[in-house]
Homo-oligomer: A and B are copies of this chain.
Amino acid sequence: MSPDERWFPSHLREMDQAECLDLLAEHQVGRVAYCDDRGPVVFPVNYVVDQDTILIQISPHSNLAGRLRGAPASFELDEFDAYTETGWSVLVRGRASYVEHGDLPPDENRPHAWAEGQRTLHVRITPDDISGRRLLPA
> What residues of chain A have their CB less than 8 Å away from a CB belonging to chain B?
3, 8-12, 28-29, 31, 33-35, 38-44, 71-74, 76, 78, 80, 82, 85-87, 89, 91, 93, 112-117, 128, 135, 138
Question: Smallest distance from the beta carbon of A130 to chain B beta carbons, Å?
Answer: 13
Contact A74 B114 (CB under 8 A): no
Q: Say what secondary structure dominates the interface of chain A.
A: strand
Q: Give the residues in chain B near A39, CB-CB below 8 Å.
A: 33-35, 71-74, 93
Q: Select which of B3, B10, B76, B115 is within 8 A of A31 by beta carbon.
A: B76
Whether A10 and B114, one on each chain, are in contact in the complex, defined by CB atoms closer than 8 angstroms, is yes
Knowing A9-B116, A12-B116, A115-B10 are in contact, say whether A40-B43 is a contact too (CB < 8 A).
no
B9:A44 contact, CB within 8 angstroms: no
Residue from B73, B87, B89 within 8 A of A43 (CB atoms): B89
